[in-house]
Structure 1
Amino acid sequence: MQDLLDRARGDGQFSAAAWAMGSSAGMHRRGEVGTFARDDQRPIGPDAQFDLASVTKPIVGLALLRLVDRGALDLGATVGEVLEDWPQGPMARADLRSLLTHTSGAPGPTPLWRAHEGRAELLQALAELEFTAPGSWRYSSMGFIVLGLVAERVAGMSLDQLVAREITEPLGMASTGYGPVPADRAVATEDCPWRGHVVRGEVHDENAVVLGGIAGHAGLFGTADDLGLLGTALLRGELFGPGTDRAMQGADDGRPLGWWPREQCSYLGDDFGPQAFGHTGFTGTSLVIDPAADRWFVLLANRVHPSRELRGFDLVRTAFHETVGGTSP
């Protein structure tokens, strides 16, 4: 594994990467390669914090499902029923389950930040987005922005506080949370033309920047070891009662709540069965859970450093999972 990632770093795929694998028994193997940035040659260690990007989504989804598990929220409720002041439109009519499973018809990644510089303006534009017909899988960051707002409203607290209360603090994920985080611990992301500097310790996602850095679709920073704690807890069923846990995994319908189903995880090979699920992040991150095989895998990298230019990182992610998929945790 170290050789694979060393070669990828040498090819310019990233400046740093951390990985881990384990099971319900805990961490089995881990490692890291590289430096915090091209111009910061300090080698990273286990405490290096990566911008998790869209791996934020399943963690926010888990926090919301904790509310569902306690009876504070019904997944059949619509956005408009929970957020009574939300503007009428397709998003207001979408139910929470369809947003969690990416089957609401909500649009995919949409650069609202380009035309909307303030939080209220961006959310108004989001509310007016057109949907396609519901039912089919269509990945949507927009839906998770709204799910974050729903979670805040029901819990009566900010999303960063809710994620800490429900997920990171109970599981001991001390290095995972919303930014900004100290720059000297943060792995650099993009030399961003919009911001005019290398982004480090602040969220990379531009929509999240306009929303204040705390959002349902992006904004969390974390370490490979912390995500391993989460993987172990999910395999142990520690976060939910049995019914909610099965629903989260998509055990009965193949549609996990907050995660990509196996058929959408194109980077997983034949060693991963139909019950596996996972999530990737734009910055080069991923977390995969394989319940049937009792194993989890984490790969964190800064593939957008120094730019988001495509350099073949998808092949690295696939090679990583091919390598670990044929081994026991």
Structure 2
Amino acid sequence: MVTRTLPQLTPARLREIAPYLSRWIATQVETRQVPGAQVAVRIGDELVLSEAFGVADESSGDPLTTDHLFRVASHSKTFTAVAVLRLVEAGRLRLDDTVADLLPRCADTPLAGATVRELLSHTSGAIRDGVDADFWVLDKDFLDPEALLAVVREHGAAYAPQEHFKYSNIGYGVLGAIIEQVTGRDYAEHVADDVVARLGLTDTHPELTDELDRRAAVGHTRAHGTGRDRRRVTIDQATTGALAAATGFVSRAEELSRFFGTLALGRRELLTDRTLRLMHRAEATFERGTGTGTYGLGLIGTTVGERRMVGHSGGFPGQITRTLVDPTDGLAVCVLTNAVDGPAESLAVGLVQLVDLLTAPAADWQALPDGVAPADLDRLTGRYVSLWGEMDIVRGGDRLVRLDPITPGPLDAKEELRALDATTLRVEDTDGFGAAGERIPFELDDDGRVTRVRVTGVSSWPEEVFLARRGEHWARGDAGSAQE
């Protein structure tokens, strides 16, 4: 069990670091050559960051905005889970009801004995998408209700209930059918009224329509080809039929973060805390490349540093998305990307890591010396560039840290710093190949602006200075010859 020692996070602290969060995302989108990313960060009801980077469509070059809609795909499962759990709270169904209890047409299928709880937690054993799932490559339409029933009847179970965690879009399609059976309403209508409208969300919808499509970011393949001819291909949109409960939703980062923020304890806008704790609790565990994850009732559980977080990911042809929320303090991060290789997961995790890094208190050894104030630290912050790349000096409270904005994770090359005086820093004492234990001196002009900084004796310059100094030499093809 992770013991939390994180300081209380406030909107004011988040607003202080939001400019750097924005710059880090912009750099990541540029260096990873992501077509576009839409990002939102909030705590509780307060939206602290909402920005878009890159383009909505590489073929047209239209810039991505915060108003563009994304296919958020499997985030739909969390909306479906909330709708089901609201019916449970209302006494209209039970988590231990079986598919056969609720859907008589499925009484003689392999999923007949699976419970609502098992469908929600992907422990029902249901097959993932069927044996012919080429709707995922847009070679056929997504399943309609009759086709979904046929898949359940003929290929419904890969395992027995509780035998394995087995992620299943078919299982959530069945949950959509259960919602319709219990409420007597179309799935999309019920969820839009009972969940989305309750939060006042106007750009979150259970399915894409032609009207919404005109506002949607365009999906892209990964880049194909060789050398300078590598390019992405745009991907058409598609509706999701009877699998809308698994993958149909469209939204924006602002609204998606608002919805997931309501799943933090104490909010009670959609569900009681008792039910929210049930959602958050692990019903199953699984191993992925990033470690052990959990799945509750419609929520993926993961650990980022000292934070135990819940949320969901989404993958639709050409769009990869991820939302994380801390159920304790309500920190919510949402990243939507419009490429099949979009790094939404690592960008969302990176933002959480940056939040915790830059809001952590200074260690005793980082206490400011006499005569040095936080304002003196601000003068040293910024991006510094050399032929070897970039480094960022960033203030977090009363201390500075050195980061490499290009590495996939913001903590990959992180170094804590201590101010020796108003123009000299010292790197923390650690084992390593870099500047551990060494001084970092800054040179300032008569106006108090940094003109140069040396790390392990090697110069870097403020970004604008470096580009001005090197530009003419690069134009002549002799970038390495400019020395000062």
Shorter-chain TM-score above 0.5: yes
Compute the displacement of 1:289 (Å): 1.7
C-alpha spacing 1:234/1:311, structure 2 compared with 1 (3 Å): closer
Q: Does 1:16 align with 2:36?
A: yes
Aligned to 1:65: 85
Deviates most, 319-328 or 15-24: 319-328
Aligned to 1:198: 235
Aligned with residue 280 of structure 2, among 225, 242, 249 = 249
C-alpha spacing 1:233/1:39, structure 2 compared with 1 (3 Å): same
- Find the residue that maps to 2:170 and give its secondary structure: helix
Q: Does 1:258 align with 2:298?
A: yes
Greater helix proportion: 1
C-alpha spacing 1:132/1:300, structure 2 compared with 1 (3 Å): same
Query: Do the aligned residues in 1 keep the contact of 2:102 with 2:178 (CA within 8 Å)?
Result: yes
Q: AA paired with 1:223?
A: R
The equivalences for 1:75-86 within 5 A come to: 75-86=95-106
Aligned to 2:161: 134
Compute the displacement of 1:87 (Å): 5.2
Query: Do the aligned residues in 1 keep the contact of 2:109 with 2:152 (CA within 8 Å)?
Result: no
1:69-110, Cα deviation, whole Å (9 max, x unpaired): 111111100111101112523212110001111122223354
Aligned with residue 219 of structure 2, among 175, 183, 189 = 189
C-alpha spacing 1:33/1:141, structure 2 compared with 1 (3 Å): same
Aligned to 2:305: 270
* CA–CA distance in structure 2, aligned partners of residues 190 and 28 of structure 1: 29
Tell which has more relative contact order, 1 or 2 (C-alpha 8 A, sep 6+).
1
The structure with the largest alpha-carbon Rg is 2
- Find the residue that maps to 1:165 and give its secondary structure: helix
Q: Percent identity?
A: 25
1:157-210, Cα deviation, whole Å (9 max, x unpaired): 111111111111110110010212433310011469xxx97314x44xxxx2xx
- Find the residue that maps to 1:124 and give its secondary structure: helix
Query: Do the aligned residues in 2 keep the contact of 1:87 with 1:127 (CA within 8 Å)?
Result: no
* CA–CA distance in structure 2, aligned partners of residues 327 and 133 of structure 1: 47
* CA–CA distance in structure 2, aligned partners of residues 19 and 81 of structure 1: 42
Aligned to 2:256: 227
* CA–CA distance in structure 1, aligned partners of residues 116 and 22 of structure 2: 41
The equivalences for 1:30-179 within 5 A come to: 30-86=50-106, 88-110=108-130, 112-114=132-134, 119=144, 120-129=146-155, 130-135=157-162, 136-177=164-205, 178-179=207-208
* CA–CA distance in structure 1, aligned partners of residues 23 and 254 of structure 2: 20
* CA–CA distance in structure 1, aligned partners of residues 115 and 38 of structure 2: 36
Query: Do the aligned residues in 2 keep the contact of 1:102 with 1:138 (CA within 8 Å)?
Result: yes
Compute the displacement of 1:153 (Å): 1.1
* CA–CA distance in structure 2, aligned partners of residues 17 and 111 of structure 1: 33
Aligned to 2:426: none
C-alpha spacing 1:12/1:93, structure 2 compared with 1 (3 Å): same
TM-score of the pair, normalised by structure 1? 0.82
Q: How many pairs were matched up?
A: 305
* CA–CA distance in structure 2, aligned partners of residues 319 and 239 of structure 1: 29
Q: AA paired with 1:133?
A: A
Compute the displacement of 1:154 (Å): 0.7
C-alpha spacing 1:150/1:198, structure 2 compared with 1 (3 Å): same
- Find the residue that maps to 2:325 and give its secondary structure: strand
* CA–CA distance in structure 1, aligned partners of residues 100 and 54 of structure 2: 46
* CA–CA distance in structure 1, aligned partners of residues 168 and 346 of structure 2: 23
C-alpha spacing 1:197/1:38, structure 2 compared with 1 (3 Å): closer
Q: AA paired with 2:215?
A: R
C-alpha spacing 1:261/1:232, structure 2 compared with 1 (3 Å): closer
Q: Does 1:289 align with 2:311?
A: no
C-alpha spacing 1:85/1:256, structure 2 compared with 1 (3 Å): same
Q: AA paired with 2:26?
A: D
* CA–CA distance in structure 1, aligned partners of residues 134 and 330 of structure 2: 43
Aligned to 2:312: 279
1:107-144, Cα deviation, whole Å (9 max, x unpaired): 33546344986622343023332332332422222211
- Find the residue that maps to 2:323 and give its secondary structure: strand
Q: AA paired with 1:27?
A: L
Deviates most, 143-152 or 40-49: 40-49
